[in-house]
Amino acid sequence: MSRNSRTLATAEVIAVGSELLGSTRLDTNSLFVADRLASLGIQLRGKSVVGDDRRRLADVFMAALSRADLVVLSGGLGPTDDDLTREAVAEVLGLDMREDPAIVAQIQERFARRGFRMPDVNRRQAMVPRGATVLDNPNGTAPGLLIEHDHRIVVLLPGPPRELQPMFEGVCERVLTARAGGYRVYKATLSVAGRGESHVEEIAQPIYSKWTAEDPPIETTILAVPGQVELHLSLRSEAGAAAEERLRRAHEALRAALGNDVFSTDGRSMEQVVGALLRERGLTIAAAESCTGGLLLSRLTDVPGSSDYVAGGAVVYSNQLKTTLAGVSADLIATYGAVSEPVAAALADGIRARTGASIGVGITGIAGPGGGTPQKPVGTVAIAFSGGELGSRVRTVSLFGGRPQVKFQATQTALDMVRRALK
């Protein structure tokens, strides 16, 4: 790196491959690259996807290079005629290509280890533009390339994520960090349950508006994902400890304002948070699920080690099974209806008794699209918590969306009831 080279402030990414222009596959590599760049304080300003078309790729690459200090290309480094990234980049930068004997030897050796001869076509992968640095690829045959050009940096990476990710990590560490002007991006997250996006914004906006006006600003994004609202804070700054302290105070102020609705400050999911609370307190959980059909227990058991605190439970779609498996009396169902608070409470009590778990959860509702009535429309779900000394609770919620959304939000509400009871 020359010492008077320009600081890298902006970047663009280009994903190459006709398969990324269909209706099934997205360029997910750009999320990884965006995350790594953000941590270095380099702003991603644009993304493009181009098919296996040399002229078009050259055109898009030239435009990106005119706008950004760093251009990261992924894909199109394979051995076939379709793989045109090396050629298009060399053409735009006006660089000759030459075969690198060291790369040929490496690829030959890779094939030899598996008892094959290297096909001649793979020699393409050893073509290197003059002045480029070769980036080793321990996970595939295509080496990456790094080119410094007119104070800008161009990085060519292979498309498969397990090849691209370690290679780009290496580029960040060895080259980009030193050139990114010493900036870093500090981040913090709060995950909130039990409030809608606009309600969270109403509480949070007066608090964070003052930091967004400061210099450097703390940027805040509100993201509504099913069953929860996430607040992401980020601060791009040169100053290490002082920046961290500012972000910590901002995070703390939001947390205080949102109180017990904040269920996670480290990106953990609701099932991870509830699992950790159960483990900490040495408790076990069981559930009797009607409309959620097993999703609550499936989410709880997605967490490694959950067999320590998940006893199990029952999926009781039919009224008969509500009686057989969870001990709910047929009279109670006849009196209040299957979707009712008394039945939810009886499911929670019954499954707790049957399994001997510390906590029982009961869920009964109408997931839709059929089955709704004017009194109990689609999305009506009764949820009960039965916890012995921890007390009992039951509530009815009205959920929106299609069948999978109703199921998910019902389990999220149930898990949040457990979380609040254990706090």
Residues in region 297-356 near a second copy by CB under 8 A: 297-298, 300-302, 304-307, 310-318, 320-321, 324-325, 354-356
Report d(CA 13, CA 93) in Å as an integer.
17
259 burial level (CB within 10 Å; 0-12, 13-18, 19+):
exposed
Helix axes 197-213, 240-258, angle to 10 degrees: 150
Q: Which of 403, 420, 421, 422 binds a second copy (CB under 8 A)?
A: 403
Q: Which string of x and - marks every residue 26-65 that binds a second copy (by CB under 8 A)? A: xxx-xxx-xx--x-----xxxxxxxx-x--x--xx--x--
Helix (H, G, I), strand (E, B) or coil at 225: strand
Burial 157-170 (b: 16+ CB within 10 A, else e): bbbbeebbbebbee
Binder among 170, 293, 337, 342 for a second copy (CB under 8 A): 293
Q: How far is CA 167 from CA 60, 85, 94, 319, 338, in A?
A: 23, 17, 25, 56, 56
Rounded to whole angstroms, the Cα distance separating 182 from 343 reads 61
Identity of the residue, 19 or 238, whose beta carbon is nearer to a second copy in the bound complex: 19
Question: Of 145, 155, 295, 361, which one interacts with a second copy (CB under 8 A)?
Answer: 295
Residue number with CB closer to a second copy (67 or 130): 67
| Contact pattern from residue 222 through residue 261 relative to a second copy, giving x for each residue in contact according to CB under 8 A and a dash for the rest | -x--------x-----------------------------
**Closest distance between a second copy and the C-beta of residue 317, in Å?**
4
Q: Whose Cβ is closer to a second copy: residue 253's or residue 321's?
A: 321
DSSP state of 42: P
Task: Write down the least CB distance from residue 162 to a second copy, Å.
Answer: 11
Q: Which residues lie below 8 Å from residue 399, measured CB to CB, with a gap of 6+?
A: 365, 379, 380, 381, 405, 406, 409, 410, 413
| Sites for a second copy among residues 366-385 (CB under 8 A) | 367-371
CA distances to 249, 270, 282, 413, 422 from 260, rounded to whole Å, are 18, 13, 22, 14, 12
Q: Using the rule CB under 8 A, give the single segment among 90-98, 102-110, 117-125, 401-409 that binds a second copy.
A: 401-409
Task: Please give the size of the binding site for a second copy, defined by CB under 8 A.
Answer: 73
Nearer to a second copy, 38 or 277 (CB): 38
Pick 276 or 321: Cβ nearer a second copy: 321
